[in-house]
Amino acid sequence: MRELQEKRLRRILDAGSWTEEDMAWFIDSWERDAEGWMRGVLRESFDASIGNTFSEQHIDAEALLHRLHHRKERHSVRMMKSRWLTTLVAASLVLGFLGVAYLWQSGRKATLQQETIRLQGGLEDILPGTDRALLVLPGGRTLPLDSLKKGFLDVGEGYLNVQLQDEGIRYAASSDIPQSPDATILHTMLTPRGGQYRLTLSDGTHIWLNATSSIQFPAVFPRGERRVSITGEAYLEVARDESRPFWVDVDGRALVKVVGTRFYINAYRDEPSLDISLIEGSVKVGRMADVQMVGINPGQQARLFEGGGPMVFDFDDVQRLVAWKDGKFQFGDGVELSVVLRQLERWYDVEFRYDVDVRGHVGGSISRDVPLSQVLELIGLTGVARFSREGRIVRVSKPR
C-alpha cells in the first residue's frame, strides 16, 4: 500500500500537474502519515530541484494543512500548472514555512521559514535594522534616542515636555507657545541606514521615518502655522486643524499642503521620482517655486520628476508602500529588482554591486525582522538573480 502511495506522489511531482483529486488525496494522506514517508519524498524532490540538502526540520501538520487550503483558494490556477511551484510545495514542507515570507517572480514562488540560515564560508549574517535615530538640538547637541532610557528628555528648554516612549519620541502640547515663527525652536531627527523611528509632534501628528531619512520640526508649533521639512521616506498621520494648515517641505523639491490626512512620502535621491501618495483626506502638491498646486485624492499618487511639475496617477496599492512601518517588505504583484535591492541597502546597511545588468520583478512579502541571508535566499529561489557576499558588499549576477 505504501509503495503505491509513494508512486502516486512521485508521479504528481514529476508531472507537475495537481488536480482537485490529487490535492484532496495529498491532504488526506498527509494527515494520516504517522511515519513521515511523504516528508521524505518531498525533501528528495526539493533537494533534487536545487541541488541542496537540508537538515531535518520539525513540521507542524496543522499549520501546513491551513497553508495548503489557503494557497489552494488563492492560487489554484497558478500553482497547479508549474512543476517548479509543485516542487516549492515540497520546499515549504521541508523548511517548515510559517506563512509570513513568500516571494515570486515570473510564475515562480519561493517560501522560507524565519530561521537563521547557516552561511557559507563562516560569514556572519547581517541583522535587520532597528528603531534607531539621532535627535539634534539647537546648538548642535545630539541625543542617540535608541540608547537612552524611557522617560522625560532634557532638551534644554524647561517648558518643553518631551518623552521617550516605547512607540517613539513624543512632544506634548504646551501652553507656553512661541508667539512668532522667529521664536520657534527647531529640532531635527535623523535615522541612519538600518534605522527607523516614530515621532509624535506637539499637535498630535504622528510621523514614521524610514531608514536614511530626516525631519526638521518645531518643538512646539507657533499659533499661526505648522511647518516641517522631510527628506527620505516617511508616513504621516496629520492631526486635523483647519485653522492651521500643515505644510511639508519635501527635500527642498516639493511642497505639500495638508489639513488633516494620512499620506506617504518617498523622496530618496536615488529613486527616479519624488512620490506623494494619499491614503485618506486630501493634500495639494507643487514645486517649491510653483504658485499653483495640484490636489490629489485618496488612492492617487503625485510624482515629480527632475525639472517637471507633479503628475497625478491612480494608485490603488498605497498600503503596500507603507508596509515597512508595520515591519514588512511588501512588493505586491511585482516590483523591479533594482527597487527591491535599494530598499534592502537602506535597511540592512549593505551595498549591492551588479556584475552584469540583471533585471526582473519580484513580488510577495517578507518580514523586515529577518537576517539578510533569508531575504537573499528567497529572491534567489525565484530565479531572478544570484547573490554572493563579501562583508557588506553583495554582488548580484544572473541566475545559472
Residue 292: the pLDDT is 79
Answer yes or no: is pLDDT of 18 > 70: no
Q: What is the DSSP string of 147-184?
A: GSPSEE---S-TT--EEEETTEEEEPP-SS--SSGGGP
Please give the residue that has the higher pLDDT: either 58 or 261.
Answer: 261
pLDDT tens per residue, range 380-391: 888 899 999 999
Band (pLDDT 50/70/90 cuts) for residue 285 is very high
Q: What is the pTM of this model?
A: 0.71
CATH of 130-320, one of 2.70.98.60, 2.60.120.1440, 3.30.750.24, 2.40.160.20: 2.60.120.1440
Please state which of the ranges 125-139, 260-274, 281-295, 327-341 shows the lowest mean pLDDT: 281-295
> How many residues can be counted in the chain?
400
Residue 84: the pLDDT is 39
CATH of 122-126+326-397, one of 3.40.920.10, 3.40.109.10, 1.10.150.650, 3.55.50.30: 3.55.50.30
Q: What is the DSSP string of 329-382?
A: EEEEEEEEHHHHHHHHHHHHT-EEEESS----EEEEEEETTS-HHHHHHHHHHT
Please give the residue that has the higher pLDDT: either 63 or 3.
Answer: 3
Share the mean pLDDT of the chain: 79
Band (pLDDT 50/70/90 cuts) for residue 156 is confident
Band (pLDDT 50/70/90 cuts) for residue 120 is very low
**253 with 231: CB under 8 angstroms?**
no
Answer yes or no: is pLDDT of 275 > 90: yes
Residue 97: the pLDDT is 33
What are the boundaries of each domain within the chain?
A: 2-97, 122-126+326-397, 130-320
